[in-house]
Amino acid sequence: MAILTPPQQSAAPTTPPAAPSNHTPMRASSRPHKRLSGLDIAGWITLIIVTVIMAVPLVWMAAASLKSPSELYSVPLQWLPETLNADNYATVGDRLPLGRLFLNSLLITALGAGLKLLLGLTCAYALVFLPFPFKKAMFALVLFTLLVPQQITIIPNYTLVASLGWLNTYQGILVPGLASAFGTFLFRQHFLTVPISILEAAQLDGAGHWRRLWQFVIPMSWPTISAVALVSIVAEWNDYLWPFLVIDDADMMTLPLGLTLLQDIDGMTNWGVLMAATVLVTVPVLLMFLVLQRRLVAGLTAGAVTG
Amino acid sequence: MSTHDLAQTTPATRSRASLHRWRLWRQYAAFVALAGPNVALLVVFTYKPLVESFRYSTLQWNIGSPTARFVGLDNYVQFFSSPTTAQVLTTTAVFTVTTVGGALVAGLGLALLLNQRLLGRGIARTLSFAPYVLSGIAVGILWLYIFDPRYGLLGTVLGWVGVSSPDWYNTSPWALIMIIIVYLWKHIGYVALIYLAGLQAIPQEVRDAAALDGAGRWRTLRSIVLPLLGPTTFFLLVTTLLASLQSFDLIHAMTQGGPLGSTTTLMYQIYQESFVNGRAGYASAVATVLFVLLLVVTLIQLKFVEKKVHY
């Protein structure tokens, strides 16, 4: 069991069957039965320490968001809030148009990730299934952009967006980042494994490219698509630098932008309010991650581990 | 062969050929319709700006203003002779080497640990990866609170072992160290995850064979596991290097390049010069330098590990 076929394995969203592939490497002399060795215990302690380091900041953030000022600024630290009060959240709501920011974030994320997927899918389909004179060169063109940090292009892009009158608009945030190099690359790799005979049969039945893409290729590519979708969603939700440059109207901001706006308002840092806002930015992604982590992981590892 | 035959076949093949050509053109048109938008966007928003950035780097120009003055290579001369450049390059180098190196080493260690059959491994995997999906801004602000010299968690924890917390935000090496620590906290899980996938792609038989040959854990790791992880390491080297050189959110949320420029990386300098100091031409020169640097590093990496990577 547990033999995953190499080309598919990276995209398979299921958990790797843990048992056989994860034997603790053992010395040849030791018996192949599970026995607690010193190394195992040390490993386990390390694991606990790592887990604590990873988890405590997040717990601390949640706890602080519910503390009253006197609890936040007591000098021997007060570990937990005495009563759960939502004052900090109310303050965030007073200072920022929270509903609007949330909707902005949602809209930008949905549109951005959706269009990116569509562009990546159609481009990869064309690159794999259609003839064209400079196909290889075109794929190289797409691939090379993965090595161009988006930030190097910010000044010309800012000038362009400003000259189009797109500052403080959704299209100003969205359009410059729409093209999908990473998605196109992953989709192409996956489409190369799709049996061409199926598409030829569809063609004989008179299906055009659009129908072949939607009715045959996409249904066969769900694991890759959902993985790329999740990675794009996380990236869009967290994107900061570009929206920060393009937007200064509070009504057009996304949640991460609102967070820094809040950071700037106070002369003295009001940690309770900031932590409440941080929770609001963090929780949606964190929840999505907890529910869909396997697919997300499949998406991130798909490009990394070649079969 | 008679003339009769020729008369019959020639028109048929000709029309078949033209039909074929027509089909081909239709497919070209379909190709353009499907791949065109994506490629066009890449050209307009990545390639064109890349070229424009070179042009801007020869200007003395404020990003909002309509006027610009051509200054040739002055911006580059200024960049390479400015005393802040040495500091920025050092900061960038320190930040990049420690974050990339630290994330790779610690991530590999974590992956090896998470690959063992230990109780609670699933929870540890989830938790160590969680920070990676969070907003850099949110993470930066959260950790500012933890580093707060008076009310922060870290000061208290350090106090338990009798160490007093330095004034992280305001003293020179500490601000950068603080950002590096947070960067590692956020990114180690990603590296560990990719390594974990790489580890699980190593067939168990290979390890068994090594064990039969009498190789201990350490030997197996060094002679079998690490070489087999070569392509994974290369992938991680490229991606973490790019991510590290591009990092903006954490620096912006935590120090805004200060104190006294001690956390200003090349990337952050591009932002500051163009959008804060009004020197977009100079910033473009810095961007060009960063791009060339990246290209060189990537080419060197490709040259070295070319044969190990197979897309």
Q: What is the DSSP string of A170-233?
A: HHHHHGGG---HHHHHHHHHHHTTS-HHHHHHHHHTT--HHHHIIIIITGGGHHHHHHHHHHHH
Which of A8, A40, A16, A9 lies closest to A27, judged by CA?
A40
Rg (CA), chain A: 25
Q: Are residues B36 and B138 in the same domain?
A: no
| Closest chain A CA to residue B41 | A179
| Closest chain A CA to residue B275 | A245
Binary contact (A77, B48; C-beta < 8 A): no
CA distance B268 to B250: 10
Binary contact (A304, B197; C-beta < 8 A): yes
Please write the tens of the pLDDT for every residue from A22-31: 444 444 444 4
Selected for mutation to probe chain A from B53, B133, B239 (highest A CB count within 10 Å) is B133
pLDDT at position B300 is 82
pLDDT at position B311 is 40
pLDDT at A38 > cutoff 80: no
Please write the tens of the pLDDT for every residue from A125-181: 999 998 899 899 999 999 888 878 777 899 999 999 999 999 999 999 999 999 989
Q: B251 near B169, Cβ under 8 Å?
A: no
Q: Which residues of chain B are within 8 Å of residue A10 when distances are taken between CB atoms?
A: 197
Q: Is residue B65 part of a domain?
A: no
Please write the tens of the pLDDT for every residue from B151-184: 889 988 898 898 888 888 888 899 999 999 999 9
A76 Ramachandran zone, left/alpha/beta (phi>0; psi -120 to 50): beta
CA distance A60 to A158: 38
Binary contact (A271, B245; C-beta < 8 A): no
List of residues 6+ apart from B229 with CB closer than 8 A? B108, B195, B198, B199, B202
The identity of residue A20, as a single letter, is: P
Please write the tens of the pLDDT for every residue from B252-303: 999 999 899 999 999 999 999 999 999 999 999 999 999 998 888 878 877 7
Residue from the list A26, A51, A240 with its beta carbon closest to the beta carbon of B136: A240
Residue from the list B42, B127, B290 with its beta carbon closest to the beta carbon of A152: B290
DSSP three-state, residue B132: helix
pLDDT at position A211 is 87
The CATH number linked to B152 is 1.10.3720.10
Binary contact (B295, A147; C-beta < 8 A): yes
Selected for mutation to probe chain A from B123, B145, B305, B310 (highest A CB count within 10 Å) is B145
Supply the DSSP string of A19-54, one letter for each residue.
Answer: HHHTPPP--TTS-SS----HHHHHHHHHHHHHHHHH
Stretch A300-307: mean pLDDT: 62
Please write the tens of the pLDDT for every residue from B234-250: 889 888 998 998 899 99
CA distance to partner chain A, nearest, from residue B73 (Å)? 18
DSSP three-state, residue B299: helix
- What's phi and psi for B59, nearest 5 deg? -115, 150
Q: Is residue B283 part of a domain?
A: yes
Q: Which residues of chain B are within 8 Å of residue A147 when distances are taken between CB atoms?
A: 238, 242, 294-295, 298
Q: Are residues B149 and B286 in the same domain?
A: yes
Total of domains in chain B: 2
Stretch B185-206: mean pLDDT: 91
Give the pair of three-digit tokens for residue A75.
């000098």
List B69's β-bridge partners, or say none: B60
DSSP three-state, residue B70: strand
Please write the tens of the pLDDT for every residue from B63-110: 878 888 999 999 999 999 999 999 999 999 999 999 999 999 999 999
Q: Which residues of chain A are within 8 Å of residue B287 when distances are taken between CB atoms?
A: 151-152, 155
Binary contact (B50, A152; C-beta < 8 A): yes
Q: Are residues B175 and B212 in the same domain?
A: yes
CA distance to partner chain A, nearest, from residue B83 (Å)? 23
Binary contact (A22, B115; C-beta < 8 A): yes
How many contacts, defined by CB atoms under 8 Å, are there between A and B?
313
CA distance B242 to B256: 20
Please write the tens of the pLDDT for every residue from A90-108: 999 999 999 999 999 999 9
Please write the tens of the pLDDT for every residue from B16-42: 888 888 888 988 999 999 999 999 999
Please write the tens of the pLDDT for every residue from A51-90: 999 999 999 999 999 998 888 888 788 888 888 888 999 9
Give the pair of three-digit tokens for residue A67.
């503390």
pLDDT at position B210 is 83
ipTM of this complex: 0.87
Q: Where are the domains of chain A?
A: 87-301
Q: B24 near A130, Cβ under 8 Å?
A: no
pLDDT at B221 > cutoff 90: no
Q: Are residues B26 and B164 in the same domain?
A: no
Per the model's pLDDT, the better-predicted residue between B8 and A218 turns out to be A218
Q: Is residue B67 part of a domain?
A: no
CATH class of A87-301: mainly alpha
pLDDT at A3 > cutoff 80: no
Confidence band of A265 (pLDDT split at 50, 70, 90): low
List A109's β-bridge partners, or say none: none
Q: Establish if A252 touches chain B: CB-CB under 8 angstroms.
A: no
DSSP A16: P
Give the pair of three-digit tokens for residue A1.
């069991």
Which class for B99: exposed (0-12), middle (13-18), buried (19 or more C-beta within 10 A)?
Answer: buried
Q: Are residues B141 and B242 in the same domain?
A: yes
Percent of all residues in chain A with a pLDDT value above 90, rounded to a whole number: 48
Confidence band of B136 (pLDDT split at 50, 70, 90): very high
Q: Establish if A50 touches chain B: CB-CB under 8 angstroms.
A: yes
pLDDT at position B9 is 52
Residue from the list B133, B216, B221 with its beta carbon closest to the beta carbon of A27: B216
Q: A264 near A118, Cβ under 8 Å?
A: no
Range of the domain at B17: 3-56
Give the pair of three-digit tokens for residue B45.
């928003």
| Closest chain B CA to residue A124 | B35
List of residues 6+ apart from B40 with CB closer than 8 A? none
CA distance B268 to B113: 35
Decide which of B56, B71, B94 is a domain's last residue. Answer: B56
Decide which of B39, B56, B73 is a domain's last residue. Answer: B56
Q: Is the pTM of this model over 0.95?
A: no
Annotate A268-292 with three-state secondary structure: CCCHHHHHHHHHHHHHHHHHHHHHH
pLDDT at position A205 is 84
List B59's β-bridge partners, or say none: B70
Binary contact (B252, A240; C-beta < 8 A): yes
| Closest chain A CA to residue B219 | A27
Rg (CA), chain B: 28
Selected for mutation to probe chain A from B28, B38, B193 (highest A CB count within 10 Å) is B38
Annotate B20-64 with three-state secondary structure: HHHHHHHHHHHHHHHHHHHHHHHHHHHHHHHHHHHHHCCEEECCC
- What's phi and psi for A193, nearest 5 deg? -95, -5
Q: Are residues B120 and B181 in the same domain?
A: yes
Residue from the list A148, A156, A256 with its beta carbon closest to the beta carbon of B138: A256
Stretch A199-212: mean pLDDT: 85
Q: Are residues B174 and B297 in the same domain?
A: yes
